[in-house]
Structure 1
Amino acid sequence: MFTAHDKLKPSYDVVIIGGGGHGLASAYYLARDHGITNVAVLEKGYIGGGNTGRNTTIIRSNYLTPEGVKFYDKSVQLYQDLSTEFDLNLFYSTRGHFTLAHTDSAMRTMRWRAEVNKHYGIASEVVGPEEVKRQTPQIDLSCGGHAPIQGALYHAPGAVARHDAVAWGYGRGADMRGAEIHQQTAVTGIEVKGGKVVGVHTTKGFISTNKVICAVAGFTPRITDMVGFKTPIFVHPLQAMVSEPMKPWLDTILVSGSLHIYVSQSARGELVMGASLDPYEVQSTRSTLDFPEGLAAHLLDMFPFLSHSKVVRQWAGMADMTPDFAPIMGMTPVEGFYLDSGWGTWGFKATPVCGKTMAWTAVNDKPHELITGFSLDRFRNYSLTGEKGAASVGH
């Protein structure tokens, strides 16, 4: 699906570090929307081998802040047309998304989110446990008797898609338009002179460029060290697992912050499951036995009939978290160096809108209007974008 390039050119108009969904989407929109095709995407491993291929593929826009709602709503809109645009089946499937509430305080947060969502035209509403039961008859509303479901935030546009197909679609689209994708090409340094980017050192040689987009998720601190500034990002492992395939029975997507679980069923019949971040700060993708034990126990609170189902595999990604649970995007203290980071547990759903906004930002050298609330400066100015109540679970 991609052209294999033997060597790097001496210079590029834009260099993108990271060959995951965000980096490939940036290259695609640079070419499609702005006509910039002299672009190199540098990936130290293989396409989509980082967090793009290590997530649970949930797509939604039911966030808590105006900045988050508008940003992710644009992403959902873009996702809905991608299969046609790429001429590639992304297995995009609208399911409806329930964020379960087990306490009075959780219900208050759901009402808050619903009102913000409705204000911006997003289909979200608070429903009672009877609606959860109607759409998911197999669920135990008492959750084992210790965490009864009081209600939920129901987000009808909630969907899932095939994660690696999204990366392949953007990669093929960028490649067809002239961008170069270089796999097995690690960045070893970034040349900065007079506060401006002038080039990138790689394992395959030096590249001259005055624009670099960094989209490397959990590796962000390593890259920002190369250009000499710090971010408040901290990295935790985030694990997931899938069950053996079974006949379709779970039509919706279920998330529970109290039980630290989110689950949907894939097109192949597997239950795709995730939980909260691992509690330690480690830059590692190693799996642990503790994770499936804890997650299985919480899943059985909701669905006791799954007690004999088997787990077939598990994996981990590196979640780049920020203090306010919103991303860091756009300009940085180094001229020509643009940051797409801080994605934590919500990066896959933002893939299309990140590509569009980062491409626009790099071309115009100012932040796109959808990402002004995600600037790095907000931490210096104490103007945070607080998404803790809607980012994911178990934070």
Structure 2
Amino acid sequence: MSELASGSSAQRTPPGAHLPEHPDFLWRTPEPRRTYDVVIVGGGGHGLATAHYLAKNHGITNVAVLEKGWLAGGNMARNTTIIRSNYLWDESAAIYEHALKLWEGLEDDLGYPILFSQRGVLNLAHSEQDVRDSVRRVEANRLNGVDAEWLGPDEVAKLCPIVNVSADIRYPVQGATYQPRAGIAKHDYVAWGFARRADAAGIDLIQDCEVTGFTTDGDRVTGVRTTRGDIACGRVALCAAGHTSVLLDMLGVAAPLQSHPLQALVSELLEPVHPTVVMSNAVHVYVSQAHKGELVMGAGVDSYNGYGQRGAFHVIERQMAAAVELFPVFARAHLLRTWGGIVDVTPDASPIVGRTPYENVYLNCGWGTGGFKATPGIGWCMADTIAHDEPHPHVAPFSLDRFTTGALVDEHGAAAVAH
């Protein structure tokens, strides 16, 4: 899932600009067939992107995407839509940079507006240790071909004048990393674009279809049991984010996953005042301004485990205090709404992608709050993995067996703020 809450692009929509038609007219509502070559469980961004690239890159179209609610109604509709690739470790930088390059051409690929706005992302540093960690990450990014800069407080203020860079606050801004190519996109449009192209290729997008179990024969899954009947399948891809642990329990597969609520909020509509994306780990908030004018703010993960799409009030309170500390101009802004998504978290804060103990079941989960930014990249790599029955090189380091071998990719805090 991604950094969670409703977001979109930088500028207000120009008068007369084309906006997408209502999603009801974008794809069919088919009845599930009794058998498919590939069944994808989860109709969010990752599931839809996987379906699109199965058709586009590999010509595989006898595919069903099963969604227990409505398409992209889970974490895809509940994220802050931040897109960046400035991760510390080589393995993480590779998959997120692959995704970012796809984002840069995604509107043309889908033939659909996604309001991708490359306004840049600032990750603030507030202590000497923050500065050391941040400069280290900038140098690591550059070695991996990822655009990254280190900015001093004056340069931060020049880039985003509304940030409080005074030395007289609790956590003074001592600088920031900056990725110019980073930005945001409109989450709903992204999902609709992928769904539209998958449907046009002949892939069945089946909503209101909850998976209730699996049928197996030895180390193969032969079918998926759903609230709309049993569906036989050749291969299965699990792309269910926070509910992946529930599906794995049905298969008897153990995975080190914990699900937590993660909430965010949006303000009332405001005039454009926030030109970029600002993230801070020390006061823990991340803020952008959506194309309509609302502020989109993300918070920290609630500490308790759960599958509820809501969060605790005290987290919102801390989030608002952090936002006002960094952006005094927001002190009189009014909160419009708040909600949560369900993040699936692994011990090393990196995803799990690839094979399972079942020879025809593939797993994609554990993205924590980083799922949205990975959407096209992981869709591409999952489709390649399914088509060739071999992990794509970008996802090979994120296999489930790394928790046995000890080859972890520890991104705790290394990428700043909410993963």
> Normalising by structure 1, what TM-score?
0.98
Pick from 27, 37, 58 the counterpart of residue 2 of structure 1: 27
What residue is the counterpart of 1:174 in the other structure? 198
Pick from 235, 242, 254 the counterpart of residue 266 of structure 2: 242
> 2:100–2:373: 8 Å Cα contact kept in structure 1?
yes
> 2:343–2:368: 8 Å Cα contact kept in structure 1?
yes
What residue is the counterpart of 1:50 in the other structure? 74
What residue is the counterpart of 1:288 in the other structure? 312
SS of match in other structure, 2:123: strand
Q: Does 1:352 align with 2:376?
A: yes
SS of match in other structure, 2:163: coil
Q: Does 1:138 align with 2:138?
A: no
Q: Distance in 2 between matches of 1:394 and 1:223?
A: 25
How far 1:292 moved relative to its partner?
2.5
Q: Distance in 2 between matches of 1:82 and 1:126?
A: 28
Match for 2:29: what amino acid? A
SS of match in other structure, 2:395: helix
How far 1:10 moved relative to its partner?
1.3
Distance 1:143 1:289, change over 3 A: farther
How far 1:53 moved relative to its partner?
0.7
Q: Distance in 2 between matches of 1:277 and 1:97?
A: 21
Pick from 222, 232, 235 the counterpart of residue 211 of structure 1: 235
How far 1:289 moved relative to its partner?
2.5
> 1:62–1:390: 8 Å Cα contact kept in structure 2?
no
What residue is the counterpart of 1:128 in the other structure? 152
Q: Distance in 1 between matches of 2:167 and 2:215?
A: 55
The 5 A counterparts of 1:211-360 are 211-360=235-384
How far 1:339 moved relative to its partner?
0.5
> 1:250–1:264: 8 Å Cα contact kept in structure 2?
yes
Q: Does 1:186 align with 2:210?
A: yes
Distance 1:391 1:213, change over 3 A: farther
Q: Distance in 1 between matches of 2:35 and 2:343?
A: 32
Match for 1:251: what amino acid? P
> 1:325–1:391: 8 Å Cα contact kept in structure 2?
no
Q: Distance in 2 between matches of 1:57 and 1:44?
A: 23
Q: Distance in 2 between matches of 1:285 and 1:55?
A: 12
What residue is the counterpart of 2:392 in the other structure? 368
SS of match in other structure, 1:235: strand
Match for 2:203: what amino acid? A
Q: How many residue pairs end up in the alignment?
A: 394
Query: What is the CA deviation profile of residues 197-251 of structure 1, one whole-angstrom value per residue up to 9, with x for unaligned ones?
Result: 1111111111111200000000010001111111101111100000111111111
> 1:191–1:227: 8 Å Cα contact kept in structure 2?
no
Q: Does 1:24 align with 2:29?
A: no
Q: Distance in 2 between matches of 1:129 and 1:79?
A: 30
SS of match in other structure, 2:323: helix
Q: Distance in 2 between matches of 1:16 and 1:144?
A: 53
5+ residue gaps, structure 1: none
SS of match in other structure, 2:394: helix
Which deviates the most, 315-324 or 384-393? 384-393
Q: CA RMSD in A?
A: 1.2
SS of match in other structure, 1:383: coil
Which deviates the most, 335-344 or 80-89? 80-89
Query: What is the CA deviation profile of residues 46-69 of structure 1, one whole-angstrom value per residue up to 9, with x for unaligned ones?
Result: 011010111000000000100111
What residue is the counterpart of 2:123 in the other structure? 99
SS of match in other structure, 2:35: coil
> 2:123–2:416: 8 Å Cα contact kept in structure 1?
no
Q: Distance in 1 between matches of 2:416 and 2:215?
A: 37
Q: Distance in 1 between matches of 2:162 and 2:39?
A: 49
How far 1:394 moved relative to its partner?
5.9
How far 1:331 moved relative to its partner?
0.7
How far 1:174 moved relative to its partner?
0.3
Q: Distance in 1 between matches of 2:50 and 2:261?
A: 25
How far 1:131 moved relative to its partner?
0.8
> 1:266–1:272: 8 Å Cα contact kept in structure 2?
yes
> 1:129–1:150: 8 Å Cα contact kept in structure 2?
yes
Match for 2:242: what amino acid? G
How far 1:345 moved relative to its partner?
0.6
Match for 1:264: what amino acid? S
Match for 2:232: what amino acid? S
What residue is the counterpart of 2:98 in the other structure? 74
SS of match in other structure, 1:292: helix
SS of match in other structure, 1:78: helix
Identity of aligned residues (%): 45
Match for 1:171: what amino acid? A
